[in-house]
């Protein structure tokens, strides 16, 4: 039997030429986004002032199974893709598990994460529409970095509203975005009406992705020939990120493998949705039955403790309403939370899959996550991003279950990026300064109280 290599790279010619639209194979579609004024399903015309035209079309497309990747996007993808799938031999040995552990590593690009997979097409479509620039938010900074790289390539302006606590914790992420010409503002700020309102109501706030989204959307709709782009949650983003799962499946087929368990970190859903897309499609079609495990932080537990309801995607309540697992648009994670994945809701597609039983979810406290990150780094020589480390923790736990049962299951997880801009968090963990915070039911209720009082939410 041929020994499986430590890592496998597909060739450029083998790289997927089309994105996979998971919604096209779902037995039941996610509930439609609603216009906040009329409570009617949004149309392309409703989305046009916010999103690029082609992205608005992709956002609402639930019929086309595959969508062509434009040639200019493929050309940039080839600068850093295909990304490797790696057999974690040393991690398996250290755990003493009979399980076979694979991970898809998305950190081999300047942005240091998978986010570039969606930043490139979103910037491309903005350029093709003749726009001058885009606006966005960023939490830990990976998405803002990726978008600044893509905008520099297409000669677009890039205005980034960065969650204030992350802006303060990760100054080198700001510097990185500045290298590529992006303007970075800590959010909430005094530059927008919604930012000023949020600060007036809560002067000491450390910010949230919901706050930053509100500011970025306002900046887009009042900024002339600019549009808003988002790095997670949206259907269009999961579409672009499907290249991760498509490459995984193709590479594992070459190795004669198929995962019994697929594990991904879950914040808004970009990485997880992209990683699991072809595998959950097999599950829906009855071809295979892999377990799909979403791993989220205990401090921002939208799947494991949230409510499945219509909610605003932003704190300022200016975006369309989406039915998703949510903690309420007013929920703000504790400022000591260092691991990213801080969005108050979950992708409507992933929420529907979870609600219908195609996916499981588990949450971990951040000291557990960093313990797993350090263990992984010592044995696999990659310093993982805190977000990715949630998936590492989940994969390790699954491998240890195999050790107890003696089952040689095949585990695949997503290593979404590097942790080189997260050294303050690592230093706090290693020095014993890092603390855990798990919101109480009373804490969460404050967010639930902010859910829209609409007929679609009755009985929730």
Q: Which residue ranges make up each domain of the chain?
A: 7-16+82-112+234-454, 132-224
Token reading at 414: 């997503």
Give the predicted TM-score (pTM) of the model: 0.95
pLDDT, mean over the chain: 95
**CATH of span 7-16+82-112+234-454:** 3.40.50.1100
Are 447 and 328 in contact by the 8 Å Cβ rule? The answer is yes
Whether omega before 188 lies within 30 degrees of 0, making that bond cis, reads yes
Please determine whether the domains at 7-16+82-112+234-454 and 132-224 fall in the same fold group of CATH: yes
Q: List, for residues 266-321, the tens digit of each pLDDT value.
A: 999 999 999 999 999 999 999 999 999 999 999 999 999 999 999 998 888 888 99
Q: Cα separation of 368 and 298, whole Å?
A: 10
Q: List, for residues 236-256, the tens digit of each pLDDT value.
A: 999 999 999 999 999 999 999
Parts of the chain with a pLDDT under 50: none
Q: Is 226 helix (H, G, I), strand (E, B) or coil?
A: strand
Q: Cα separation of 377 and 448, whole Å?
A: 38
Q: What is the pLDDT of residue 140?
A: 80
Nearest alpha-carbon partner for 92 in 405, 414, 435, 375: 375
> Which helix (H) or strand (E) covers residue 163, if one does?
strand 157-163
Are 206 and 332 in contact by the 8 Å Cβ rule? The answer is yes
Cβ neighbour number for residue 47 with a 10 Å cutoff: 21
Q: What is the pLDDT of residue 333?
A: 78
Q: Cα separation of 378 and 374, whole Å?
A: 6
Q: What is the pLDDT of residue 338?
A: 62
The arrangement of strands across the sheet holding 226-228 comes to: 183-187, 157-163, 133-138, 226-228
Q: Cα separation of 437 and 335, whole Å?
A: 10
- Residue 5 CA: distances (Å) to CA of 9, 246, 247, 413: 10, 20, 16, 17
Question: What is the CATH topology of the domain spanning 132-224?
Answer: Rossmann fold (3.40.50)
Q: Is 16 helix (H, G, I), strand (E, B) or coil?
A: coil
Q: Cα separation of 300 and 321, whole Å?
A: 20
Q: List, for residues 417-436, the tens digit of each pLDDT value.
A: 999 988 989 999 999 999 99
Q: What is the pLDDT of residue 332?
A: 80
Q: What is the pLDDT of residue 294?
A: 98
């Amino acid at each position: 039997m041929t020994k499986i290599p430590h890592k496998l790279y597909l060739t450029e010619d083998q790289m997927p030429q089309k994105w996979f639209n998971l919604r096209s194979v779902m037995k039941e579609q996610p509930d439609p986004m609603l216009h906040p004024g009329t409570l009617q399903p949004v149309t392309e015309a409703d989305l046009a002032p916010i999103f690029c035209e082609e992205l608005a079309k992709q956002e609402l497309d639930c019929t086309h199974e595959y969508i062509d990747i434009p040639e200019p996007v493929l050309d940039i993808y080839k600068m850093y893709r295909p990304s490797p799938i790696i057999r974690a031999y040393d991690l398996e040995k250290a755990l003493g598990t009979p399980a076979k552990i694979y991970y898809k590593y998305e950190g081999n690009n300047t942005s240091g994460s998978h986010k570039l997979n969606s930043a490139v097409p979103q910037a491309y479509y903005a350029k093709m529409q003749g726009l001058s620039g885009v606006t966005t938010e960023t939490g830990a900074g990976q998405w803002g970095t990726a978008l600044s790289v893509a905008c520099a390539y297409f000669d677009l302006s890039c205005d980034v509203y960065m969650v204030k606590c992350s802006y303060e914790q990760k100054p080198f992420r700001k510097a990185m975005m500045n290298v590529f010409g992006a303007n970075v503002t800590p959010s909430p700020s005094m530059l927008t009406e919604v930012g000023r309102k949020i600060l007036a109501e809560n002067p000491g706030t450390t910010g949230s992705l919901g706050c930053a989204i509100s500011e970025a959307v306002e900046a887009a709709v009042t900024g002339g020939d600019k549009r808003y782009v988002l790095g997670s949650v949206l259907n269009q983003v999961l579409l672009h990120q499907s290249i991760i799962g498509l490459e995984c499946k193709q590479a594992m087929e070459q190795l004669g493998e198929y995962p019994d368990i697929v594990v991904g970190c879950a914040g808004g859903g970009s990485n997880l949705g992209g990683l699991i897309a072809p595998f959950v499609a097999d599950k829906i079609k009855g071809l295979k039955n892999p377990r799909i495990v979403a791993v989220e932080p205990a401090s921002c537990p939208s799947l494991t403790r949230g409510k499945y309801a219509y909610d605003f995607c932003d704190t300022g309540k200016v975006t369309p309403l989406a039915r998703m697992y949510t903690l309420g648009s007013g929920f703000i994670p504790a400022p000591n939370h260092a691991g990213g994945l801080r969005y108050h809701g979950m992708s409507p597609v992933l929420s529907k899959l979870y609600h219908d039983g195609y996916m499981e979810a588990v949450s971990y406290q951040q000291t557990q996550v960093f313990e797993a990150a350090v263990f992984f780094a010592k044995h696999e020589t990659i310093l993982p991003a805190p977000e990715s480390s949630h998936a590492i923790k989940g994969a390790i736990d699954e491998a240890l279950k195999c050790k107890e049962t003696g089952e040689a299951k095949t585990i695949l997880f997503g290593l979404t990026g590097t942790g080189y801009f997260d050294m303050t968090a690592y230093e706090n963990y290693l020095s014993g300064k890092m603390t855990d915070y798990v919101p109480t039911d009373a804490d969460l209720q404050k967010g639930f109280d902010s859910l829209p009082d609409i007929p679609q939410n009755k009985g929730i």
